[in-house]
Structure 1
Amino acid sequence: MSALAITALIGAIVSEVAGTISLRRASSGEKRWWFGVGIGYLLAFAMLVVVLGQGAALGVVYGIWAAAGVAITAILDRLLFREPLTGIMSLGIILIVGGVLLIELGAQGT
């Protein structure tokens, strides 16, 4: 992946997490957070288009984006909203990240 693709992928992950955290805030009745939801998801998908336009494989990009989003959101959810993050949930995050790494390794072998 090119430097532009990696940068855009990181931006897509950060934007998606920001949109999701905003969604959590908006769901509790704070309507001003809906702006953050829309902007976060719009930027995330726009940046994914950039990554894919750089020639990155969709399966790899989507796997990294989704796994990082799940892991970071779960951790922030615990820190910001005191939601549970159990050992089983942590194991699930580790398995997701491991699965994405295997997809990446498999894609490099082709």
Structure 2
Amino acid sequence: MSALSDHIRQEREYVGYGVDHMAETLKISPDEYVAFESGTAEPDAEQLEMIARLCGTSVERLHGAPLQTDPHVTEALAGRNLTAEDVYQVHRFAELLQHLGTAEPEGIR
């Protein structure tokens, strides 16, 4: 399994989509989609962009870039008794909301 395939799977699971939903939206078979997550095939650039949008993240993050933290969120969390994982999850949710506000590519509804 490659880093890309692992990130695709993690991000799909984060938003709670099933393999069938992802495949249907990408207009490919579930087996073809599973190949992306197992690392036996890689999505093309258009498919990767669509996966990122469906998962509320960026193509860069699917390739392993670190989560970009929002300074406003960081400030709002200051002084609270949160674990590092809690802080990460809040930032990841903020990223999801930010990306959901962008225009959706054709086929995503």
The two structures share one fold, judged by TM-score above 0.5: no
**TM-score between both structures, scaled by the size of structure 2:** 0.32
**TM-score between both structures, scaled by the size of structure 1:** 0.31
Q: Which has the higher helix share?
A: 1
